[in-house]
Structure 1
Amino acid sequence: MVERWDRIGRAAGYGAAAALAPYLVIKVSWVVGSLLGLLPVGRGFSLGGWLVLNTVTIAMAAAGITLGLALVRPWGMRIPGRLVVFFAWVGSGFLVSILPFVVVGALVSSGAGGSGDSGGSGGDPAMPGWEATLVQCSFVGTGIALAIALPAYLWRRWPHALRPPERPRTRASSGPRWPAVTGAATGLAWLYWAAGGSQGIAHGDERSAGWRVLVAVSAFWALAASAAALALIRRRPTGLPYPLLLASAWLGSGSMFAWSGWRLPATVYVALAHPSDVGYPENVAVAVALHITAVLTGAGIMRTLVPGERRRMSVPGNAQRSAQRVSRRP
């Protein structure tokens, strides 16, 4: 059973890299086409800003492809564990936030007879329908594949880290509780907006269906991460499986850190540049405050998870033995 799961995980790692390759090619074509004057610049951007934005997304796509291969190839077992965990954490956070947004964006676009940048890059150079579909398939395929490949990799490298810790003799807290509090506050604020609340909204007429879905998904992950982190910090029985709590804290904190970290500079740019054809429904000051809080909260929750797992992820000789077993396999 374990060997079968390992084979499935390896196939999924290759699948994640292959699924993200079309997105990388499309982004490179946008940069080259814009430089040569063959493709228009995204709405609300200057040529320089458009090139910087898409160069960043090219680097992110390349990192995602490298991550997919690292979860499969023997050299992935020799990469420093913290580096693999960080990129996997950020990548997972992006995907769990953006996948529902991509699906809803595709439905809205097909219903309206148009297309949009489901990837959240802030605009697109008149993306044709087939290209939008390819981008959406890249995100969905990568998300599903990484969801299978990452647990298999973690089990190969750190099998002890995925098992519940021994119940402590005391019920003292094992970390600070402020990330759970700030995460819950941020999630409730986003949930209020998603439900139609007007406080903190500057342009209510710009609240599109895609914006509501993205805010609702962000609220869900913020609240899920806060609840899971509080349960893990307090170390009290909750009746929920330990892997579920760990996954909720991992994905939710990654969602807050990655997605708010991505939207924060975009929000600041819109606030400073005042582009005529790009705007956000939220009050800029409130949005910036929430994104900063979300980034700090995501990092705080992840930091509370790492000390508890560091010892079990550093079992002497465990990673070396795993790497040797993997290197012997064809």
Structure 2
Amino acid sequence: MERWDRIGRTAAYGAAAALVPYLVIKVTWVVGSLLGLLPVGRGFSRGGWLVLNTVTIGMAAAGITLGLALVRPWGMRIPGRLVGLLAWVGSGFLVSILPFVVLTVLVSAGTASAGSAGSSGHDAGMPGWEAVLLQCSFVGTGIGLAVALPAYLWRRWPHALRRPERPGARTAPGPLWPAVAAAVTGLAWLYWAAGGTLGITHRDERPAGWHILVGVSACWALAASAAAAALVLPRPTRLPYPLLLALTWLGSGSMFAWSGWRLPATVYVALAHPSDVVYPENVVVAVTLHATAVLTGAGIIRTLVRGDRARRGPSATVRRPAGRPA
């Protein structure tokens, strides 16, 4: 475990460092746009461009802080709920970005497809080296957090990774509706990714990047559904318990983070009608699916947290070791 802990600490530093180029580029875009030295992204007003990139600057800063919190001593003193929330949302973004970047490169869709998918607000006319740095930041941070987060969790909450002792008992007592809703949402996205046209208004506005992003989101939603159902239903499963926890954590985080990001973007495009920005989905259908995904992701993680509290027992919420936050 000491070797694994050292690897996790190194990965945490690497995750924080990988986001620095992203943060610098985004700050440059905002400052350059304010001073009139850099153009505004295609399809955005100046105000919309500044707001979007200011939000992503905050997200990058939070990601760097999270990486450092997973390795520095003060990270063990941060309230557990705050660390968990940042890690959950951050990992939800990154587990979708990583396969999206890899698959986009494989199909030679390029940066233009990523912009058309509306995933990050990048301008299709950015220099190639900026696109490479941005993608390397996402990939490096994703890999770093994937290694650092389990090591941090083991140091702070080792009980959370252990399977309950009673065989056949429900490991995460809670309702089944989040798993069902995740399955329905995932199947709808999978239908679109496969080329289905029901619920699609602009059929010609579906580049390869859009299909890849929707397909990746569908896979994570279905994985979260299957894992959540396995944890809630009182049936034995041969899958390793840490794997079920990982699929539930990452899948629900992907649904919450990405739909939470795309929901306001979809509403904005529908109301403001910015030039050269058209989403292929029917607005009502897209908003419904994204809202369902946000609620479903929150419902799944709530079930997971309640299951952890139930395993620790009622005394866990009353007694706490001195100097160690819950």
- TM-score normalised per structure 1: 0.91
CA deviation profile, 1:64-119 (whole Å, cap 9, x unmatched): 0000000000000000011101100000100011122223344556x769785598
Q: How far off is 1:122 after superposition?
A: 2.8
**Identity of aligned pairs, percent?**
78
User: What corresponds to 1:249 in structure 2?
Assistant: 248
Paired AA for residue 10 in structure 1: R
- TM-score under structure 2 length normalisation: 0.92
Q: Which residue of 2 aligns with 1:131?
A: 130
For residue 55 of structure 2, what is the aligned residue in structure 1? 56
Kept in 1: contact 2:172–2:306 (CA 8 A): no
In angstroms, what is the RMSD of aligned CA positions? 2.4
- Equivalent residue for 2:44? 45
User: Secondary structure at 1:35's aligned position in 2?
Assistant: helix
Structure 2: where are the runs of 5+ without partners?
none
Q: Which residue of 1 aligns with 2:304?
A: 305
Distance 1:170 1:92, change over 3 A: closer
The answer (yes or no) to whether the contact 2:15–2:145 under 8 Å persists in 1 is yes
State the secondary structure of the residue aligned to 2:19. Answer: helix
| Alpha carbons 2:111, 2:124 under 8 Å: kept | no
Aligned to 2:4: 5
How many angstroms does 1:281 deviate by?
1.1
Q: Which amino acid aligns with 1:186?
A: T
2:20 equivalent in structure 1: 21
State which drifts further: 289-298 or 235-244: 235-244
> What is the alpha-carbon distance in structure 1 between the residues aligned to residue 77 and residue 229 of structure 2?
33
Contact 2:255 2:293 in 1 (8 A): yes
Aligned-pair distance for 1:123?
Answer: 3.8
Please list, as runs of the form range in 1=range in 2, the aligned pairs for 1:140-219 lying within 5 A after superposition: 140-167=139-166, 174-219=173-218
CA contact (8 A) 2:172 2:308 kept: no
Decide which moves more: 118-127 or 147-156: 118-127
CA distance in 2, matches of 1:264, 1:112: 24
- Structure 2 CA distance for partners of 1:140 and 1:119, relative to 1, 3 Å: farther
Instruction: Give the Cα–Cα distance (whole angstroms) in 1 for the partners of residues 171 and 2 of structure 2.
Output: 39
Asked whether the equivalents of residues 174 and 235 of structure 1 are also in contact (C-alpha less than 8 Å), the reply is no
Q: Deviations over 1:274-330 (max 9, x none)?
A: 12301111111100000000000000000000011135675855684799xxxxxxx
Task: Report how many aligned residue pairs link the two structures.
Answer: 321
- Assess if the C-alpha contact under 8 Å between 2:173 and 2:306 holds in 1: no
Contact 1:157–1:322 (8 Å) recurs in 2: no
Alignment partners' CA distance in 2, 1:114 and 1:123: 9
Structure 1 residues not aligned, in runs of 5+: 324-330
